Structure formats: structure tokens, C-alpha cells
Amino acid sequence: MDLRFAKTPVSLVVAERGSDWEAWVERFSTGTPDVRVVVQDPEEPVERLAQRVRAQVLELEESGEELARAVIVGAGKTNDSTLSARSLAIRSIVAPMVEQGHGTLLLDGQGAGRFGMMALASTVGGMVRGTGVTVTATGGVVADVA
């Protein structure tokens, strides 16, 4: 293997404001020491968070790093704008994983948002079946899935 072309694996934690995301950083750093975190700023619309996620993923690709695994940690919101923003973030994360032929995306929801994350994981998981990418919902149990 030519190390000049080997990509550095990176993990990404996407945290909606009010979510319990800190445990994911610790958990992900075990397998991929380089963990990037995108946290929703106070008063930042969730749509803007999704745009920042897309920009972070593009930055990783441009710098020759490989998005190995990611988690989106939702804060329990279930409205249409949140669902739309999460969908954008998911597409931004999954697209390069499909292109590279592997990767894992976890969707971690809290409260009522947990069921929305489960539905998104089921839908997207079916769409990427056979690509080497895994998309799953955690149901809030960090230790059993990462």
C-alpha cells in the first residue's frame, strides 16, 4: 500500500443544541483519534447547522481525510425544518462514504426525536444497502453501537 495516497480516518460528531453528545467524542476517539465536532450554536437555526456539516465534510475530502464514521445527536425536536435539516446533514455525510465504499453513520435521538432518528436510519439504511455503508439508529445506547 502506498502511504502517500492513504487517507487519514476521521470521525465526526454532529450535535444539536441541547443534545447529550460528549460521550460520543470519547467513544469515537478510541478507534479514530481524530474526532471533529460540529455543535449547534445558541440561536443557530438547525438548517445552518446542516450547512456547516456539509462544509466540514467537504473540508475533510479536500484535505485528503476520510470520513470513517459519524453520529448525528438530535435534541428531541420533531418539526419539519429539523427533519429537513437532518436529511441534508445525512446526505452530506453518507455521499462520500458511499463513494469510498465504507463508513458508518449513527443517528442518536433523544426523547420524541428518537423515533424520528429511527425512521431516518431505516430509510437511509435501505437506500445505501450494498454500498459498504451502515446507517443505524442507536436508541440512545452509546456503548452498544460504536
Other CB atoms within 10 A of residue 70 CB: 30
**pTM of the predicted model over 0.85:** yes
Profile the chain (146 residues) by mean pLDDT over runs of 10 residues: 63 94 92 91 96 97 93 88 93 96 94 86 93 87 44
Please provide the CATH number assigned to the domain covering 8-137: 3.40.50.720
Cα angle 10-91-63, degrees, rounded to a multiple of 5: 35
- Give 19's DSSP letter: -
- The pLDDT, as a whole number, for residue 6 is 62
The domain limits of the chain are 8-137
